[in-house]
Amino acid sequence: MRPWLGNGLVTGGGAQWQIHRKLITPAFHFKILDTFQEVFSEKAQMLADELTNLADGQFFDFYPLMTHCALDIISETAMGVKINAMKDADSEYVKAIYIVADIVLHRWFRPWLHPNLLFKLSPSGREQQRNIRIVHEFAEKVIAERRERIEKFGKEEMSLDDVLLGKKKRLAFLDLLLQANMERNLLTTQEIREEVDTFMFAGHDTTTASTSWTLFQLGNYPDIQEKVHQELDSIFHGEERPVEPNDIVKMQYLDRVIKETLRFHCVVPFLLRRLTEDIYLDGKLVPAGIQVSIHMYNVHMDPEQYTEPLQFDPDRFLPEVSAKRNPYAYIPFSAGPRNCIGQKFALRNTKTLLATVLRKYKVKSLLKHHEAKYKVDVILKPQNGMKLAFEPRTL
């Protein structure tokens, strides 16, 4: 992934990663997320509108539509630009992201393509280079334009402190990153681009998967879906208005449904970590320097931590129940220093999308819970698309 994402937060390490993480963390302050709520709600409503002509009770593949919606959200919040993927899925930039992601996976499972020289000479290597150039040039163009804007209007307009105090209009992550870097000059233009590319990748695929898998589960459990509908009705009282930050806090049952969904369908299915010291597992030495893979599904299905782990039960995430479990028994966003910096962004985004769609529609799933098949990818995707059916709700 490095030719694409460089040494951004997902792929980087060491002292450089620590500098980047410290510089970027303030951009995920909850008050910053509040300013993004308008984008979440606007795109969620567009998604609900797109479903109007599809909500006839017939099954269709929901996944591509959700992917385009998530791309629209992340492009506007990360870069401050509209790519209109829901309306123009054939845009060069959107297609390039899909192609690069597919080639990364293609190379991953073909060891003979791992050496850089052989890969660059292969057809897929040349195709990847062409599309990475499109992605990088687009990001670099946006960075240049946003930097020029800061220089033109003065950094006062782009103040992070003012945004936190509610004095300034919404800024994209890129604006906040450029502003923070102007004060400390720690990142090169390439490093800023690598973080923007990382946001674009990590911020759209994950939201697509979490939203789609939650709808899949609700489509399998009408009783649980009804409880979600009741909660949303108690919050919105039938009003057709955007989801606001205060509404998000009230969606406690939906929050538990999402958490239980991520226990079964963890968006990032495994983590890789390199050991910095010797450890013993079941009396066996695992030496420092070894890279280990932590499989989330195995962790999340531990019967010692979860009673009847194969049963879908959102109430296992009631605060008093969760408090009894080991804190590392549930790690959909990883844990420790390298946990997901965007987890609050992701959960708020997912809740807004689900709340907007479920206020208008009922959902059914073609496949039963136990019939779900997965596509091996960087994230956990459905093997043959996400076949869902929607019908309008009557309040």
Does 2-268+332-392 carry CATH code 1.10.630.10? yes
The pLDDT score that the predictor gives to residue 184 is 77
- How far is the C-alpha of 130 from the C-alpha of 135, rounded, in Å? 9
- Across the range 363-375, mean pLDDT stands at 92
- Across the range 45-58, mean pLDDT stands at 95
pTM of the predicted protein model: 0.91
More confident call, 258 vs 158: 258
Give percent of the chain with pLDDT exceeding 90. 65
Q: Which two tokens stand for residue 254?
A: 């939906």
Whether residue 340 is annotated as binding a ligand: the answer is yes
* Termini Cα distance of the chain: 47
- How far is the C-alpha of 273 from the C-alpha of 8, rounded, in Å? 16
Q: How does DSSP assign 192-261, residue by residue?
A: HHHHHHHHHHHHHHHHHHHHHHHHHHHHH-HHHHHHHHHHHHHHHTT------HHHHHH-HHHHHHHHHH
The pLDDT score that the predictor gives to residue 154 is 59
- Across the range 229-252, mean pLDDT stands at 95
- How far is the C-alpha of 133 from the C-alpha of 97, rounded, in Å? 11
The pLDDT score that the predictor gives to residue 24 is 87
Grouping H, G, I as helix, E, B as strand and the rest as coil, residue 325 is coil
Domain spans, the chain: 2-268+332-392
Contact 314, 255 (CB under 8 A): no
- How far is the C-alpha of 188 from the C-alpha of 193, rounded, in Å? 9
Q: How do residues 97-133 score in pLDDT, each as one tens digit?
A: 889 989 998 998 899 999 999 999 999 999 999 999 9
* Closest alpha carbon to 50 in 395, 361, 366: 361
Contact 269, 295 (CB under 8 A): yes
Contact 65, 208 (CB under 8 A): no
Grouping H, G, I as helix, E, B as strand and the rest as coil, residue 28 is helix
